[in-house]
Amino acid sequence: MWAWLIQRAAAVVLLAVVAAHLVNPFRRGVQAALLALVLVHALLGVRAVLLDFGLPVRWHRALFVLALIVSALVWALVWRWY
């Protein structure tokens, strides 16, 4: 349930952040938020697709945590490099 809620919230906030990014694409805070929201939304979507292929219920929580951890790691690596 939390994964669904976080993914939907990320999608709604992503709309606002994309609008802010279009107004001024050089604001670093907007860029950071855009990257974080896209990563979270995309990786939770990958989790949903994997579960749709029939992974057992015991994998639900592990995939949720893995999606959040990978999102945070990729964000940190990209943001440090940028």
pLDDT at 1: 82
pLDDT of residue 19: 96
| Domain residue extents for the chain | 2-81
pLDDT of residue 57: 85
- Separation between Cα atoms, residue 40 and residue 69, nearest integer Å: 9
Say what the pLDDT of residue 24 is: 92
Q: Would you state the pLDDT for residue 37?
A: 97
The vertex-60 CA angle with 59 and 62, nearest 5°, equals: 65
pLDDT tens digits in sequence order for the chain, 82 residues long: 899 999 999 999 999 999 999 999 999 999 999 999 999 999 999 999 999 999 898 999 999 999 999 999 999 999 999 7
Residues whose CB falls within 8 Å of the CB of residue 61, separated by 6 or more in sequence, listed in order: none
Contact 45, 39 (CB under 8 A): no
